[in-house]
């Protein structure tokens, strides 16, 4: 497990009271009831504070933020854009 995934997994399990074993990478965080719209905002704030990533409104989509796998990919791509 890479460090980005570990940090996101820890944040989600500690803040949304989901067991780590229940948090599979491909499960929808919203459809499964793990997070709601307020939870999305909490994740956005976490991304900004922890990784220095400001997510533009047009990138607040399920394809970027609705699963752990999508979040890991999004953070990795955002970090690559910043370092390039």
What is the torsional sign of CA 49, 18, 68, 31? negative
Report CA 50 to chain centroid distance, whole Å.
Answer: 11
pTM over 0.85, yes/no: yes
Q: 54: how many CB neighbours lie within 10 A of its CB?
A: 10
What CATH number is associated with residue 35? 1.10.1200.10
Mean pLDDT on 35-44: 96
Q: Which domain holds residue 63?
A: 3-83
Decide if pLDDT at 24 tops 70: yes
User: Does 71 score more than 70 pLDDT?
Assistant: yes
User: Average model confidence (pLDDT) for the chain?
Assistant: 93
Return the SS3 of 25.
coil
Residue entry with tokens 């940090």:
7
* CA distance linking residue 13 with residue 9, whole number of Å: 6
For residues 83 and 80, the model is more confident at 80
Instruction: Please tell me the total count of domains within the chain.
Output: 1
């Amino acid at each position: 497990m890479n460090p980005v995934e570990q940090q996101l997994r820890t944040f989600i399990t500690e803040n949304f009271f989901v067991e780590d074993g229940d948090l599979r990478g491909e499960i929808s965080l919203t459809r499964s009831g793990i997070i709601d719209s307020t939870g999305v905002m909490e994740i956005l704030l976490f991304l900004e504070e922890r990784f220095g990533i400001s997510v533009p409104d047009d990138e607040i989509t399920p394809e970027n933020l609705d699963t752990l796998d999508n979040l890991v990919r999004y953070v990795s791509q955002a970090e690559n854009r910043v370092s390039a």
